[in-house]
Structure 1
Amino acid sequence: MEATGGRPFYRTLYFWVLVGIALGVLFGWAFPTQGASLKPLGDAFIKLVKMIITPVIFLTVVAGIAGMSDLKSFGRIGLKAMGYFLFFSTLALIIGLIVANLLQPGHGLNIDPRTLDHGKISEYITKAHDQTVVGFLMHIIPTTPFSAFAEGDVLQVLFFAILFGVALAMLGERGARLTTALKSLGEVVFRIVHILMYAAPFGAFGAMAFTVGSYGIGALANLAALIACFYLTAILFVLIVLGAVARLTGFSILRLLRYIRAELLLVLGTSSSESAMPLLIEKLERAGCPKTIVGLVVPAGYSFNLDGTNIYMTMAALFIAQATNTPLTLGQEILLLLVAMLSSKGAAGVTGSGFVTLAATLSVVPTVPVAGMALILGVDRFMSECRALTNFIGNAVATFVVSRWEGQLDDAKMQAALGGAQPQSLHAA
């Protein structure tokens, strides 16, 4: 059995990450105490990747903008990307609302909110109150260019990179040497990414061992209906909604999933879509998406195009309402939807943002008891993988769509990459 490009399957990244995930689940199940103690192993790998994310974004965006002949097109790309994000994020919220109403996963639990432990969710409620849309927009502007890099804030780095790239492009020939140097530096940074990927199987092992060891596989049975509904909805969203978008753009969603399978397993194992961002950027460029569009759409999408998180928010909110026998009118559900649209932007980039965003939404819509979040806290970790995977796939599709809209998608490269014609390296397989 061989992988695409003639490499034996046992030399591919996706195989070893899959091995790490499987061993992590088994270890966490057999030795829960020891498994829970392996959290630093997964955290260390995510920190390694986050260390390199900001240089990757900066160099990709600057080199892309500096190489553009028409700077007006960059603003047009940004507007198209934000329009796409807004439409599909809202659609994801609506789909979550519809499915939760149809399947009613919380019906029949009959939980009294007064019996729930508020202490377990107080941390998330505090974070939620700290998040506002205005505050989020102000936070995009870094205190200094260096603080953006020091704090690893993706949107702040993106903001500075856009300014730097535009200024460099305006220099014309005088900035050519610096542009060339930055492109060379970018090659070095991506080589570092490949080196870091040797640690990916160990990171996936530690993260999965911690999840299973801490929360136990048995926790899945307690809220099986909610988890099944969420996973089913996310899968259908990817295959039907994003699949239709992909088909209109000229490619198959299944071929895309196969192309980024290693990155998807990495996201699954670490429960963090950021862990695979540098590899996604590289693969999208290889698949015919221009550097400028990749550099703008992917980082921005990590904060503004959260399809999986949005599906989760409305489904979880309605699950809590159903479980606590809290009736909601159509008007209240629409209000919930509108608040979720805003709060999903305000909590973007916050650790545990899915749960924090849910807390922010329920805090503004007092009809649904915030204390009900304690019901799903124990299985939130299991649902975070699905949120991250759906967000990740959504951003990959968005990049192809915006590239097509701009008439800059290289069809030959895309078909070669998604068709498996290009050779795959150990780290990009």
Structure 2
Amino acid sequence: MTDLGETTRKAGRFGLVGQLWFQVLAGTVLGILLGHFAPATGVAMKPFGDAFIKLIRMMIGPVIFVTVVHGIAGMNDMKSVGRVALKSILYFEAVTILALIFGLVMVDLWQPGAGMNIDVAAIDTASIKTYVATAHDQTITGYFMGIIPDTFASALTEGHVLQVLFVSVLFGIAIAAIGERGKPVYTLIDSASQGFFRIIGYIMYFAPLGAFGAIAFTVGQFGTASLWSLGELIIEFFVVCGLFTAIVLGGIAHWCGVSLWRLLGYLWDEIVIVAATTSTETVLPRLIQKMRKVGCEESVVGFVIPAGYSFNLDGTCLYLTTVAVFLAQATNTHLTLWHELGLIAVLLLTSKGAAGVAGAAFVVLAATLNTTGTIPVASIALILGIHRILAEGLTFVNLVGNALATIVIAKWEGKLDERTLAAMIGNARLRAKYPVAA
């Protein structure tokens, strides 16, 4: 397997320039400069960002499949699969509620949209017609039916994370159930996983180019004018993301014996990549590798991370409450306490549909406003130009939230190597318990 240690050793030969995060950051800065000084050329760089994301998405299905199947098939106790699933859902829902409430309280206190006095009738809605139409198609029944693929193979080819997880769990349980006759398949899956992760290693060489293309397009397409006009919302949202990470996720990390700062340093490459590409999918395979490396058992990692990409979207929840209330403030739409509680109740359901949908969080926002009927749906046109900027904050929180969720469930299930965790990202308390030999 092309593991992270090998990548680090290769990077070490070239010092700072050889570090992936530095290369991605350099590509991001060059993209910003190109998009600012030559907007038309910056927009033309979009295929580089799209191609990199497509390359990663090409591998997500196979990587999830081999990881989940290998983890589950290697279990001796099938009841643990059900326990991991139940504990994961309970944890996801608890943190989702915290994120929704946190975002709501902060936007109510800050009030970034107050005084804008936007006339909804004067908003040009032509640019959001596609998103609104897609939002109308999102229903609870349709969402759950969408988890079941049309065919076994289509789950791996169409890129829907929950569909891949669904068939992977079924196949893993089946291989475990047939005992010795399943050993050859188990061995084959193990070998295939090494090949797939090596391909991921090759693809990551193109991450700087992907970051360059994605950010050049964003700056070239939307310019800096929209950043100034909606600057207070951008600042408020990034502050909210930072505070949520430090307070809520930091508290969870401390309980697990994890140093939040060491975790952020450990995930630094991935943080830079998701910020530049505004997509957490680009680091899903690497996140699986890294969480296994810190001591989480493969069976837990293989289930929690793919499931978390649909059910544990802390940053997306912060975005949805923040932007929804901002739009109400900007259009002078009065929200009572009951309206805000109703908004949270709706978001508990609609936020789970923010994965595997084109325009993800933006579509979910439209669907939520359409369902509540309180805030004008047309008002989402106000933030279309800065959505990708806001996505840089929400993807970062989603990434860190899913990394911590994996550690929490592994610890809860007794499938966490705390000695390894202490050595790599443990806080002072855990390192004192498991001192590293000199």
TM-score range (shorter-chain normalised) is over 0.9
Secondary structure of residue in 1 paired with 2:77: coil
Q: Which moved more, 1:195-204 or 1:10-19?
A: 10-19
Secondary structure of residue in 1 paired with 2:300: helix
Please state how far the C-alpha of 1:346 moved relative to its aligned partner: 3.4
Are the equivalent residues in 2 in contact too, given 1:64–1:292 (CA < 8 A)? yes
Give 2:20's match in structure 1, choosing from 13, 17, 42: 13
Name the residue aligned to 1:69.
Answer: 76
Separation (CA, whole Å) in 2 of partners of 1:414 and 1:18: 28
Separation (CA, whole Å) in 2 of partners of 1:346 and 1:418: 32
Separation (CA, whole Å) in 2 of partners of 1:17 and 1:258: 15
Name the residue aligned to 2:126.
Answer: 119
Please state how far the C-alpha of 1:416 moved relative to its aligned partner: 2.6
Are the equivalent residues in 2 in contact too, given 1:204–1:270 (CA < 8 A)? yes
Give 1:418's match in structure 2, choosing from 409, 413, 425: 425
Name the residue aligned to 1:402.
Answer: 409
In structure 1, give the amino acid aligned to 2:205: Y
Separation (CA, whole Å) in 2 of partners of 1:402 and 1:336: 29
Separation (CA, whole Å) in 2 of partners of 1:104 and 1:49: 38
Quick check: 1:181 aligned with 2:199? no
Matched ranges for 1:226-375 at <5 A = 226-375=233-382
In structure 2, give the amino acid aligned to 1:372: S
In structure 1, give the amino acid aligned to 2:356: G
Secondary structure of residue in 2 paired with 1:380: helix
Please state how far the C-alpha of 1:417 moved relative to its aligned partner: 2.7
Name the residue aligned to 1:30.
Answer: 37
Matched ranges for 1:376-391 at <5 A = 376-391=383-398
Separation (CA, whole Å) in 2 of partners of 1:316 and 1:226: 8
Are the equivalent residues in 2 in contact too, given 1:48–1:196 (CA < 8 A)? yes
Separation (CA, whole Å) in 1 of partners of 2:354 and 2:284: 19
Are the equivalent residues in 2 in contact too, given 1:124–1:355 (CA < 8 A)? yes
Separation (CA, whole Å) in 1 of partners of 2:82 and 2:324: 36
Separation (CA, whole Å) in 2 of partners of 1:188 and 1:28: 37
Separation (CA, whole Å) in 2 of partners of 1:285 and 1:311: 28
In structure 1, give the amino acid aligned to 2:43: A
Please state how far the C-alpha of 1:181 moved relative to its aligned partner: 1.6
Change (3 A) 1:133 1:348: farther
Please state how far the C-alpha of 1:348 moved relative to its aligned partner: 3.1
Matched ranges for 1:100-115 at <5 A = 100-115=107-122
Separation (CA, whole Å) in 1 of partners of 2:418 and 2:31: 39
Secondary structure of residue in 1 paired with 2:333: coil
Superposed CA offset, 1:3-43 (max 9, x none): 98755222121111111111111111111110011111100
Separation (CA, whole Å) in 2 of partners of 1:289 and 1:276: 18
Give 2:88's match in structure 1, choosing from 63, 81, 89: 81
Secondary structure of residue in 2 paired with 1:376: helix
Separation (CA, whole Å) in 2 of partners of 1:121 and 1:313: 17
Please state how far the C-alpha of 1:381 moved relative to its aligned partner: 1.2
Quick check: 1:90 aligned with 2:100? no
Separation (CA, whole Å) in 1 of partners of 2:421 and 2:69: 23
Superposed CA offset, 1:306-358 (max 9, x none): 11111111111111111111111111111111111111123432121111111
In structure 2, give the amino acid aligned to 1:75: G
Please state how far the C-alpha of 1:280 moved relative to its aligned partner: 0.6
Q: CA RMSD in A?
A: 1.4
Normalised to the residue count of structure 2, the TM-score between the two structures is 0.93
Separation (CA, whole Å) in 2 of partners of 1:184 and 1:416: 28
Are the equivalent residues in 2 in contact too, given 1:136–1:347 (CA < 8 A)? no
Separation (CA, whole Å) in 2 of partners of 1:66 and 1:228: 47
Give 5+ residue unaligned stretches, structure 1. Answer: 421-429
In structure 1, give the amino acid aligned to 2:94: F
Are the equivalent residues in 2 in contact too, given 1:305–1:395 (CA < 8 A)? yes
Superposed CA offset, 1:359-388 (max 9, x none): 011001222111111111111111011111
Separation (CA, whole Å) in 1 of partners of 2:391 and 2:354: 15
Separation (CA, whole Å) in 2 of partners of 1:4 and 1:41: 25
Are the equivalent residues in 2 in contact too, given 1:132–1:347 (CA < 8 A)? no
Quick check: 1:220 aligned with 2:233? no
Separation (CA, whole Å) in 2 of partners of 1:367 and 1:155: 31
Quick check: 1:134 aligned with 2:174? no
Quick check: 1:58 aligned with 2:65? yes
Separation (CA, whole Å) in 1 of partners of 2:220 and 2:421: 41
Separation (CA, whole Å) in 1 of partners of 2:375 and 2:226: 23
In structure 2, give the amino acid aligned to 1:15: F
Name the residue aligned to 1:427.
Answer: none
Name the residue aligned to 1:40.
Answer: 47
Superposed CA offset, 1:198-256 (max 9, x none): 11100000001001111112321111111111110011111110000000001111111
Secondary structure of residue in 2 paired with 1:367: coil
Runs of 4+ in 1 over 6 A off after TM superposition: none
Please state how far the C-alpha of 1:119 moved relative to its aligned partner: 1.5
Name the residue aligned to 1:146.
Answer: 153
Separation (CA, whole Å) in 1 of partners of 2:274 and 2:206: 14
Give 2:205's match in structure 1, choosing from 176, 179, 198: 198
Normalised to the residue count of structure 1, the TM-score between the two structures is 0.95
Are the equivalent residues in 1 in contact too, given 2:70–2:189 (CA < 8 A)? yes
Separation (CA, whole Å) in 1 of partners of 2:383 and 2:24: 28
Name the residue aligned to 1:169.
Answer: 176
Separation (CA, whole Å) in 2 of partners of 1:402 and 1:266: 26
Separation (CA, whole Å) in 1 of partners of 2:352 and 2:133: 17
Are the equivalent residues in 1 in contact too, given 2:159–2:356 (CA < 8 A)? no
Separation (CA, whole Å) in 1 of partners of 2:424 and 2:168: 28
Separation (CA, whole Å) in 2 of partners of 1:342 and 1:376: 22
Secondary structure of residue in 2 paired with 1:69: coil
Give 2:217's match in structure 1, choosing from 210, 214, 219: 210
